Amino acid sequence: MILYNLENKAVLKERIKNDPTPRTTISFYRYTPIDNPQDFRDKLYIDWSKFGVLGRIYLALEGINAQFSIPNKKLSDFKTYLDNNESLKDMPLKIAVEDNGKSFYKLDIKIKHKIVADGLDDKAFDTTNVGNHLTAKEWNQYMAEKDTIVVDMRNYYESEIGHFKGAITPDVDTFKEELQVVKEELKNQKNTKVLLYCTGGVRCEKASAFLKSEGFTDVNQLYGGIIDYARQCQAENLENKFLGKNFVFDERLSEKISNDIIAKCHQCDKPCDTHTNCANNHCHLLFIQCTDCQKKYDGCCTPHCQNVIKLSKDQQKEIYRGEKYSYNKQIYRSRLRPKLKDICQNI
């Protein structure tokens, strides 16, 4: 029985690229006790493989957070399957706004300590005492009220390419950091109406409960996040107050929500909101690059990386010997982003 993907990444990517099967990209989450995540994981892997699901699913004792694509013709049976599962039934599914069906190339189901890394001690506060869930219509009404604070609960690289008009967009790399920064920045406004939003809503579930436990009295959150907001705006013909793109954690990297381009190329400052990963795989920095700079720097973040990719594999190894990829290092490197223009132009 196969319980893990064993195939090569390049092969899988090529396969999905050439596969004509229409697929839909979906996400959902639920905070629900899962007694035995390992057993649950293995069962999901076997079952979901049969449906042809590709995606990234996180399981923890506290619940499930899933982002995936599925062949359109299997969707109806998959919904029935979810409804027949005690912890997954009546699941609100969020359907991607801009979707080519090539969002994922493999099925990856991981067991995590938490479904979203928040750095919080869940025993120290009531995680079920969440903020008011708002529909898109209610969200627009609340945004129009005076003295409300709109807070983007996502990271800097996400809000940089798209956010709600007038939102606070903290300069952070992680959700863990974000929670502490928001608590600190708003500490003198605990009685003001706070409106929280994130990609699909899962981060706000935890953030709203945390802020309430810190004494905030009027905490509200966009239910279903930006993804479902965009859908509701279209379906109900509501005014769209979100500017730019919604960053997503799959191969698509973003979904266009409005035509505004609110970001700039990190290398030349030209209006641009297309993220890319540096072509030097030892670097892999996520940054914004226009098509001109992509050509000029061969898809790299700096002339340094551009030189590296011209070397042989062995020479590259030599340069990065002893340097192991680590999460902290990635965060450290992400601090480079605002400086890329200077680095590129001064070499």
Residues with active-site annotation: 198
Which C-beta is closer to Zn ion: that of 166 or that of 271? 271
- The yes or no reply on residue 261 touching Zn ion (CB under 5 A) is no
Max Cα separation, the chain? 61
Sequence letter at residue 190: K
The burial class, CB within 10 Å (0-12 / 13-18 / 19+), for 42 is middle
Please, where are the H alpha helices in the chain?
9-18, 37-50, 75-83, 136-144, 156-159, 175-185, 202-213, 225-236, 291-296, 303-308, 313-319, 327-334, 340-346
Cβ(285)–Cβ(336) under 8 Å? yes
* End-to-end Cα spacing for the chain: 54
Q: Which is nearer to Zn ion, 161 or 283 (CB)?
A: 283
Quote the least distance from Cβ 246 to Zn ion, whole Å: 22
Contact segment (CB under 5 A) with Zn ion among 3-11, 179-187, 217-225, 261-269 equals 261-269
279 binds Zn ion (CB under 5 A): no
Does the footprint of Zn ion cover residue 280 (CB under 5 A)? yes
DSSP letters along 150-172, please? EEE-S-HHHHTTEEETT-B----
Kindly state whether residue 149 participates in binding Zn ion, applying the rule CB under 5 A.
Answer: no
**Is there binding between residue 301 and Zn ion (CB under 5 A)?**
yes
β 193-197/148-152 pair status: parallel
Integer Cα distance of 218 and 112 in angstroms: 31
Count of residues touching Zn ion (by CB under 5 A): 12
16 binds Zn ion (CB under 5 A): no
Question: Cα–Cα distance between 49 and 134 in angstroms, integer?
Answer: 34
Q: How far is the CB of 204 from Zn ion (least distance, A)?
A: 33
DSSP 290: -
**Choices 89-97, 173-181, 246-254, 300-308; region in contact with Zn ion by CB under 5 A:** 300-308
- Among 194, 230, 257, 283, interactor with Zn ion by CB under 5 A: 283
Is residue 260 within a helix (H) or strand (E), and if so which, with residue range?
Answer: none
Helix (H, G, I), strand (E, B) or coil at 10: helix
267 is a site residue for Zn ion (CB under 5 A): yes
Which listed range, 17-25, 109-117, 224-232, 284-292, lies at the site for Zn ion (CB under 5 A)?
284-292
Q: 246: number of CA atoms within 13 Å, CB side?
A: 27
**Span from 10-18, 254-262, 274-282, 320-328 in contact with Zn ion (CB under 5 A):** 274-282
Of 149 and 290, nearer to Zn ion (C-beta) is: 290
Q: Could you tell me if 170 and 84 are in contact, meaning their C-beta atoms sit under 8 angstroms apart? A: no
Per-residue binding string, Zn ion, 63-102, x by CB under 5 A, is ----------------------------------------
When asked if residue 54 is in the footprint of Zn ion (CB under 5 A), the reply is no
CB of 279 to Zn ion, least distance (A): 8
Q: How far is CA 237 from the centre of its chain?
A: 26
Binding segment toward Zn ion, per CB under 5 A, in 17-25, 77-85, 192-200, 301-309: 301-309
When binding is defined by CB under 5 A, the residue of 70, 265, 288, 344 that contacts Zn ion is: 265
| Residue 290 binds Zn ion, judged by CB under 5 A | yes
> Between residues 114 and 282, which has the closer beta carbon with respect to Zn ion?
282
Nearer to Zn ion, 120 or 340 (CB): 340
Between 246 and 280, CB nearer to Zn ion: 280
Q: Which helix (H) or strand (E) holds 68?
A: strand 63-71
Residues of this chain that interact with Zn ion (CB under 5 A) are 265, 267-268, 270, 278, 280, 283, 285, 290, 293, 301, 305
